[in-house]
Amino acid sequence: MIPHSRPTLENVNLHTWGEMLESGHLARGVFCERLETLFIEKILGTTPDSFRARSVQSGTQALHLGLWALKLLREKDGDTSETLEVIAPTLACGALVQAIRAVGAKPVLCDTTMDGNLDINQAVSAITPKTLAVLVPHLYGKPIDLGPLLETGVPIFEDCAQTLGVETDQGRVGTMGRLMMSSFYATKPICTGQGGIVATADVDLMSEMERLCRYDGRDDAGPGWNANLSDWSAALAIPQIEHFDQS
């Protein structure tokens, strides 16, 4: 294995962990909520009044939850198509296709441009009535011009793991599509070892994702997982997000 992307942990301190340990709460709690608020404010450049976020156990799980929630909302609108489609680039983390398959959808793979990012024009041409979403990874710190996709009205799911905090003419990366996700894996700009986050301005979509994050305490028999990040992991991420603009 060739080592790469060493985590930047200079800003991590034991104070936040000490607070967390003194609280006696290691599962999801106030530290996850603090992480989510900081992420919205410092990484997405917006406010908790206009955006909501949920920290989860991996980037793959964030993809999975987002696609499931989109599918459930589509079913509530009366669309019960057996095979939905999700458009994604050929050059991307394998987790994208795995998440698409996990929700019972068909991956529709489009080519990339010379910079490695999704060919937006090809993605637009691939849209059909069966299209559930377009997964758009912004790779190598280079955001994609989403203009042509935004005009279609199809849900755009931004993968921002490699391009956090970048401004574009259309807005901050992660705030332009229907929803966004990022990974907190060990090689990512914000690192909890394992972890991820999903965020959206769509209240109904977030309500579905929050429900999917739990398997208990519910009054329905729909899908659900123990998907939440722990306060233990959140305590590692909080100082990194607080100093993100200095890293």
Range of the domain at 50: 14-246
Residue stretches of the chain with pLDDT short of 50: none
pLDDT of residue 80: 74
pLDDT of residue 218: 63
Count of structural domains, the chain: 1
Task: Give the CA count within 13 Å in the CB-facing half-sphere of 79.
Answer: 13
pLDDT of residue 69: 96
Q: How far apart are CA 235 and CA 50, in angstroms?
A: 24
pLDDT of residue 220: 66
> Is residue 125 domain-resident?
yes
What is the domain-level CATH number for residue 238?
A: 3.40.640.10
> Is residue 1 domain-resident?
no
Decide: residue 135, CB within 10 A, 0-12 exposed, 13-18 middle, 19+ buried: buried
> Is residue 5 domain-resident?
no
> Is residue 4 domain-resident?
no
**Model pTM?**
0.90
> Is residue 2 domain-resident?
no
pLDDT of residue 1: 52
The DSSP H or E segment spanning 34 is: helix 30-38
